[in-house]
Chain A
Amino acid sequence: MNEEEEKYDLKIILLGSSKVGKTTLVNRLTQGTFENPEQTTGATFSKKKYQGELQEYTFSIWDTAGEERFDSLSSFYCRNSGCELILYDITDRNSFTNLDRFFDKLQYTNEDSFVILIGTKLDLIEETSKLRKVTLEEGKKKANDKNSYFFEISSKTGHNIQELWETVGDLFEKNSQKNEIKHRQDNNHFQINSFTNNQKKKNCC
């Protein structure tokens, strides 16, 4: 299938201060690799398939620039997102105390969207826990206050990455099952029509 004709079932957006590991997490998720990426300007976009219970879905993943001066732009990117991953670095206190500016952006997201708070760079504290600047409990409490899910991960070792991805998928499926019932009642016929129209258009152009 042509890349340009693909449909995306869920928009996932990554937020967090610069250097917390947003792009690294995207690379881990989409390519399974760990490397030192270039800095992100604006936003970049990638996709990943999720094997659901009944069918396969394609999720789009939006990675944003973390620098504060670009905040006015990242509000644009948040529009209609269905899942927000908000990241902080467990070895950098500032990235944790700064979190509220990202939670404030959630007003731009869609109403069933879910939030996952993620503490990154777990591998760094495996050898010496001295480096840890944000405790597990603090992270959990923050997530609880903001009504979001919580993970501590390492993109380097892959720790909790699979669990994180499955949680995203599960939450998405739960949401879509809820919505499907609603959709079936009023939207079904219209959707089929508009779909076939689009197909025709593509063929003749």
Chain B
Amino acid sequence: MNPKNNNNNNQSQKQAKDLENEKTGFLTKLGGVVKNWKNRFFVLNDGVLLYFVAKEDCTPRGQKTEEERNIWVDAIDKSREKHLKRIQVEKRLIEVDGIVKPEEEKKKVMKKWSNIVNQPLSIIQGNLEKLKVLARKGVPSSLRGKIWMNISGAVIAKEKKLRTVLLAFSSHRNDVQYAQGMAFIAALFLLYLSTEDAFWLLNHVMSEYRLIEIYKNNVYGLRKLTTVLNQLIQAFLPKVYKKFEEIGFLVEFIAGSWLPSLFLSNSALWFGIRFWDMFIFEHDPEISILSFTLAIFHRSQNILSKVLSVDQIFAHFKILRTVKLEDTCSNKKYYYFNIDNIISSASNFQKKELFQKIVKSEIEKFDQANVNEEKEDEKYLEVYKDYLL
């Protein structure tokens, strides 16, 4: 392969297609110091444009930053449109006879891959041969982890583990069986524990930390927690409470999506994990769940007391799903989701006498008002006891 020959255009084009991720080709450039035209091999990869004296050369010359590269690529694209042979970029003339493929092509390849990633596993495996060919040209680095997990089948193994834990739990506690939300908790445990340990921990927190109450009997516990939470907001965040009443927002809307998974869904993982770090050390689960939830509202009270509609509250808390931990520390816009502040605010609430009083009395009130339901539940438990014996 002789790079210095323009007739090789076709061949090098074909070659570049092979390396779809990387754009390569020959450009004739005018020397920076010595003003003569030289044929150079250009490589455009991951936002960096390099050129080499020869194709076999290993020392890159003229490394370009992304900004510089964009100027180059734009100039080359323009020259193509106008069928120019020679263009000037940053005081340098280059002659366009090679091929630096336009950005769009790179995007196309990315799109192809990201479509694949989003397919259900069965379809991915059905098209393995096609993918193999595509993969030989390199997997885009941003999707590499996901693709490797999917193709190797590690994803299935992981899901199987999760299913095992949940199945074991639901047959062990067949008074509740499986409820939506538990999967997130079990998955968190599996990040750090073996399958068996994850089961024991899940079983333990569900019964000893009374989390099971949240799901049992048509989410009785969840309804109880949100009712108490509502009273707490009225007492501690009166402005927010007033706003909620005014626009018809119910705390159930948002607490209903946080509490079944205890902050592990609809929020960033780092956020949920920090709650669990705290939660495991608490002896009264109601107190810790309620103080943490109240603290989230408390930290956002300036925004919440100014919103105009229910949807805006949702939009506000949706940020919590994607916000990065760093941003909540460094970017003023996201301070209200700073986890350290939320946790310290939660422990402040816990120390307050009024807080403890409201929680205690409201829980009692709720249980009394729903005493019939509670009994039904006990009946259920009786059956369950028999089953255990």
Contacts and interface: CB of A to CB of B under 8 A. Distances in A.
Interface stretch (A64-72, A90-98, A138-146, A160-168): A64-72
Interface string B43-65: 00000000000000000000000
A127 interface: no
B180 interface: yes
B266 interface: yes
Interface string A22-42: 000000000001111011111
Given A35-B118, A41-B181, A77-B253, A71 B218 contact: yes
A76 B250 contact: yes
Contacts of B119: 34
B223 interface: yes
Interface in B241-291: 248, 250, 252-261, 265-266
Contacts of B306: 201-202, 205
Contacts of B188: none
Contacts of A201: 306
A33 B114 CA distance: 10
Given A33-B118, A34-B118, A67-B180, A76 B311 contact: no
B344 interface: no
A42 B315 contact: no
B107 to A, nearest CB: 15
B377 to A, nearest CB: 13
Contacts of B120: 36
A72 B260 CA distance: 14
A54 to B, nearest CB: 22
A80 B310 CA distance: 11
A34 B308 CA distance: 33
Interface residues of A, number: 38
A11 B314 CA distance: 13
A35 to B, nearest CB: 4
Contact of B256 (A7, A11, A60, A70): A70
Contacts of B179: 67, 69
A150 B23 CA distance: 49
Interface of B: 118-120, 179-181, 183-184, 215, 218-219, 222-223, 248, 250, 252-261, 265-266, 303, 306-309, 311-312, 314-316, 318
24 contacts: A5-B308, A5-B312, A35-B118, A36-B120, A39-B180, A39-B183, A39-B265, A40-B180, A41-B258, A42-B257, A42-B260, A43-B253, A43-B257, A44-B257, A44-B318, A45-B318, A60-B311, A65-B260, A67-B179, A69-B219, A70-B256, A72-B218, A76-B250, A202-B306
Given A4-B315, A43-B256, 4 more contacts: A4-B303, A4-B307, A4-B316, A35-B118
